[in-house]
Structure 1
Amino acid sequence: MKKRIVSWLLFAILLVGFTNGTSAEQAVETTTEAAVDSQTSFTDVKIDHWAKGDIERAIGKGYVAGYPGGLFKPDQPIKRDEFIKMVVTALGLPIETGIGAWYEPYVKVAKENTLYATSDFANNDKEWNTNITRQELARIAVRATGASTNEDDKWMYLATKTGLITGLGKGELGKDKTTTRAQSVTIIERILSVKDGGTLPVDKYAVGSAEIAWHGTNIFTVMPEIYVTDEKDYAGKTIEELWRQDLMVLETKDGNYKGVLEALIAIDLEDPNDPNLKLLPPVSELKWSYGSGVIDGVPIDQAPVTKSMNSYLLYFKGKEIFNKDPNRYGSDILGPSAMLSGMQWNNKDDFYKGILNRPTLVYHHKENDLNVTIVPKSGWIQGEKKLKIQILTNNKVAAGYKLNVLLEVKGPKYGE
């Protein structure tokens, strides 16, 4: 008789769950998870599991629980409603239970505390019962620490820069990939650490990839000591916001030429694991010219890049969209021409001896077959000139010349 009463009671609980927008699977998992919320060790979380410590801390804090049979299911994808409940609970935000789907009180509190906005996705059962992506995870995590942005592409950058999110290896962000229970508790533990004033380790490759995805360059991640300026020059902003992504499309006033710089990618030659090295030919095959003599497009005086590894490569990844007047504008499948200004050699004679002491172009087989510049980390001077990054048309005649300044900063040696 007692078993029959328990069975009918469980049936009634599940029935109420279904009428309030909860699936059978969610109802069972919510019920069974609650039944083992005091469990602290799990057969599917081995002693060497990468998230074991975070899982144990999360269990101890009470914002997540395990499943019957001693399971935590660390690799199980987590849904949006499950994650928002975990975050709201972990942050200690008070909720009021009421009529409706089980997740609705948590969503209400999440909206009130700017963790969720209806512009993220629609507030309905179907959307909340969807697996959460890493991009969505990043957005909630950043908001939970008190930061915000109006640029959707910037959430992952803010999350990686503070260490809330790390990459999947070699700079891969996996923004559209789903998130597991183990990953979720790890992110929440990082949120709590930041809110307590902690500093998290950062995956620099993920930050660089996220910066490119945000505004088309990673120079502020890879070479921050070069492109610097006085704080007053970006009052109310961050230095990264000085980059003019809106000017990366170059179009002449006469409407006859249009090109685009898709990305400016900085590569650290001293880092053999730099994930963007794969975008170029092997470094051992790259060269730069220190003379003016050329035979069949090949410079006579050439130096291997491998002798100047204390440098950065700047890869101007671009393309030509159209050129309706090739008599006026030179065509190049690599896109607009690029120019760095402000860095000068400290000794011209040294440069012509093959000593790299200022930025110069890099080539593979022949001159101009790459849109890449090598920038030595030291050995150059600046004087009273600011550092500029520009793209421009390759004009055959003076009329119609177009130049866009993408960045202008004082740099580290301004006034020296």
Structure 2
Amino acid sequence: MKHWKKGLCGLLAAVLMVPAGLAAPVSGGKNLSDLEGHWAQKEVEAAVASGWVDGYPDGSFKPEKSITRAEFTKMLLDAIHLTPDSETVAWMKENALTDDIWGNPTEYTPKLYDMSGHWLTSQGWLDAALYSGMVVPDDYNGKNFRPEKAIARYEIALMTDRALGLVYPASQPVEGELPFTDKEEILDWMKGYVNESVKAGVLKGYPDGSFQPNKTSTRAEAVVMIQRMLEEMEEGLNHDITVVARYKENYKEHGEEGTILQEEETDQIQLQVIDNIIYASLNDMYDVEIDLIKKYGKESADKLGVAWWPIQQEMIAGITNVSSGSLYYYQMGNEIYYWESNGSEKMFCAPTRALYGELMVPVCDLSHYSREAQDEWKGGWDPETNTLTLLMYYRVPPERYS
């Protein structure tokens, strides 16, 4: 993550041809003519009812037909709400960066050379895939996606891991050997992704002990794997928690120091509760913080200054009018984050997660909670009222008030 240290403060300051089987929606999965008694009937009907997969114009689903790379990409993005018109995709495109050959941040302009005129491109799904990091051009020979090629199981492992925000753990060395009889067929760089997808329950081995990484998948199999991924991603979304945002601002005005302290209840922060850990959307928290600064602060804040590395699933964030050195660096799937001011390494109580492309931060460990909210997104918890209090702490640079 050393590339985060180079040039970011300055950068931020400046800051229809439709394929059969994906269009022509069928009303209600139970009306599909060729699903009765199929092993994936329940999953396919649920997916059709949710709207992220359709049948064919003749009323069939063709569950045993191979699914192409393009079809799977569209299906996956639709399932996790990263559609071409989504606000999250627009945010990713606006803030996407990569590293140049010297390790400095530069604008991310991904390119696949064989996608001109393809429906995935014309409908906007390709941009959504590239800027969200679901598809990385360098993964494909000559940066040719070959969209009509049947997708292999190892590719599904890769893309579903990315959807779950598991690039960081998948990039780490795998402890021990993979438990598959054909592990030698899994490329070294893919082993971490296969391992993470199996741990998440998205892909599974075969009864003979093999994984078969190069085996292509059917439409039914693809739906089932995406359903498993969604079950992992959406765990803990149903809860009854009151969120209170406590705004604390330290400032210096006319030679005297002061503090503003206000708090408000908010329903603008998406939460998950998983294994006694409360997770909150990082972007939502920053949005609420900025609103509180505008409402109560001694100084206005325009917006959140951000940068997004799609390939590494890394993000930096800081309020745009804070002086240099107040940026934080986060990565999906990692429990470590950094404060640029002094390069200090900080730890969350658990690794961050991904939810529909949003970075979800662990803000409270319910098995070891404090009733008082603290800085660094450490929420206070009141079990009697099911209330989570988050401290929105804004340090006004002293030179602004003298």
Q: Same fold (TM over 0.5)?
A: no
Is the radius of gyration larger for structure 1 or structure 2? 1
TM-score, reference length from structure 1: 0.38
TM-score, reference length from structure 2: 0.40
User: Which structure has greater strand proportion?
Assistant: 2
